[in-house]
Structure 1
């Protein structure tokens, strides 16, 4: 009898020890999970541009994408646009931004007048669309060309945004001396035009631009781009521009296609962004691109993930590289950042 009691006692002690060991392992696993959760953000702030522009609409679409696919809540922040987004990323005021090729070039190499340094920690993660430049004037002004802006008061877009940064440079490249240049968001400029305070506006965003649609439903306007000798001059002075055609069915006010210039757009983060988060975001973005297209038609330009090859020189984030390599895209050597080389 004593032997049986001793056997049960030893068995009971062993069971207690085994349960304690299992609990310890589970706790360690939970601790590891907590560390991973801290690295993988539960919320992000998305840097867009002015209300009425395409970036702002895209911001809402990306926020929905993050919430539905990654269970991440987002704040969509109105900003000055690409230049401002690069600056905000650098100080971690936003964690996901949108930029056009021009500001990306100037920021990365520290060559823009606005660039206080080289923003070399920025990393591209997904392609977006082309941003064509277009101008519109009240029909009553009779203006149908940017060359007629000489001495005129013109709206150029928000300071720090793509149009606000490059419209003045376009005028400079063409030797056009305008009158007052109004730096404001698309919606604000549209309101000023409808109030009779502004006859000419220059803006750039994915097509169609909501502000243009808003104005043309309430007033007669002339919409135009830039082509021929003027376009060649601009592209020679500002080499990050490419030729672009705005389809004639984009706006009711158009009678046919419009020749102009454009810059491509990309989603960007800082190099310190969590690799798993970036990988999952890029994967969710491309696998649910229909969702982004329903948000704004411009996303059709990235329906094929190979659109990432529009970027041939700026470093991609390692999380993005993992995804594009997995689906078989042959990336240029130049887009592999130093941290990729160090860890692979």
Structure 2
């Protein structure tokens, strides 16, 4: 009997020892009906499958603002965040007025919300976003992320809601109102192509996506430094045969500064060494690439991600160098 029990005991000790080395991490996302949740869950599966002694799971949440709270309290290890919310959190402004989260660290850019300021052509003068002044314009549903980002962009070229006749419509309703002559334009930020913008062009609404100049981009980033240049290629939308020069805000992976350096290094490395699998997670995940890894990140890099990017030769902008690297 002792001869039987001894080997079983040894096996159990080995199994328990192995389990003791496993690291368990969670990724805060958003509600299960959006894009954050499937991408967070998909990345968790990828890391779990490709990294030894690592178990990563996605958890649903109310979105970016709650995700900051979860990171701060240690109730999530990683989070997907909207760039503007990340910028507000680390600066202690907007939704985080007087409650800055200085320990927030960027890990990598995932995909961008591309700004589509659309306007009826009879209101277009310069062809840029400043043309919305004096028009009836939808800034998105009230209290939405669209409204917050649109108002911030407007601040970058010295406009407020007082300079437009403000409407609060969803994307499809915006295009419908433009088609019916009840609205001049609206803000429709999303991943390209945006279905409502496809409908606008395909159904013959006499309107265009406005461009953003380099000077306007710089002024907008003086408010919150989280937008980056994005070119919508010609042919993306029906009957549009020229590139559209606009901007985008990142949805990015983040963590707290105290998250283990080596763990974050390995997580970052696993993403870029398994891009084919990453791109299969979701259509928006196809944007993940080394070329866009640092675009629009609002907080300094985590030291683990920083070490990986330096190792592979990426040039790190000064504002993204973490204090821990000095």
TM-score normalised per structure 2: 0.70
Task: Name which of 44, 63, 72 aligns with 1:66.
Answer: 44
Shift, 1:46, TM fit = 1.8
SS at match of 1:128: strand
Task: Name which of 106, 118, 124 aligns with 2:106.
Answer: 124
Partner residue, 1:207: 192
Shift, 1:171, TM fit = 2.7
Taking the aligned partners of 2:152 and 2:45, their CA distance within structure 1 comes to 39
Q: Are 2:152 and 1:166 equivalent residues in the alignment?
A: no
Shift, 1:280, TM fit = 4.3
SS at match of 2:136: coil
Tell me if structure 2 keeps the 8 A contact 1:130–1:262. yes
Alignment of 1:208-247 (within 5 A): 208-213=193-198, 216-217=201-202, 220=205, 222-227=207-212, 231=216, 234-235=219-220, 237-238=222-223, 240=225, 241-247=227-233
Shift, 1:202, TM fit = 0.7
Shift, 1:156, TM fit = 3.1
Tell me if structure 1 keeps the 8 A contact 2:109–2:297. no
| Unmatched segments (≥5 aa) in structure 2 | 50-55
SS at match of 1:40: strand
Task: Name which of 315, 321, 325 aligns with 1:335.
Answer: 321
Partner residue, 1:269: 255
> Structure 1 residues 59 and 233 mapped into 2: Cα distance closer, same or farther (>3 Å)?
same
Q: Are 2:164 and 1:178 equivalent residues in the alignment?
A: yes
Partner residue, 2:268: 282
SS at match of 2:240: coil
Partner residue, 2:301: 316
SS at match of 2:187: strand
Tell me if structure 2 keeps the 8 A contact 1:231–1:260. no
Task: Name which of 45, 49, 70 aligns with 2:28.
Answer: 45
SS at match of 1:208: coil
Q: Are 2:283 and 1:296 equivalent residues in the alignment?
A: yes
Taking the aligned partners of 1:168 and 1:154, their CA distance within structure 2 comes to 11
Cα RMSD, aligned residues only: 4.3
Taking the aligned partners of 2:257 and 2:231, their CA distance within structure 1 comes to 34
SS at match of 1:201: strand
Taking the aligned partners of 2:203 and 2:75, their CA distance within structure 1 comes to 38
Higher Cα radius of gyration: 1
Tell me if structure 1 keeps the 8 A contact 2:265–2:304. yes
SS at match of 2:165: coil
Taking the aligned partners of 2:61 and 2:143, their CA distance within structure 1 comes to 16
Partner residue, 1:155: 139
| Unmatched segments (≥5 aa) in structure 1 | 1-14
Shift, 1:192, TM fit = 5.3
Taking the aligned partners of 1:115 and 1:219, their CA distance within structure 2 comes to 44
Partner residue, 2:72: 90
TM-score normalised per structure 1: 0.67
Alpha-carbon displacement from aligned partner over 1:169-195 (angstroms, at most 9, x marks no partner): 33343335122342x7xxx43245437
Alpha-carbon displacement from aligned partner over 1:25-82 (angstroms, at most 9, x marks no partner): 7655544444444x413x5432489x6xxxx446424422422451544345563xx5
The structure that is helix-richer by fraction is 1
Tell me if structure 2 keeps the 8 A contact 1:225–1:260. yes
Partner residue, 2:87: 105
Taking the aligned partners of 1:92 and 1:158, their CA distance within structure 2 comes to 31
Shift, 1:239, TM fit = 6.3
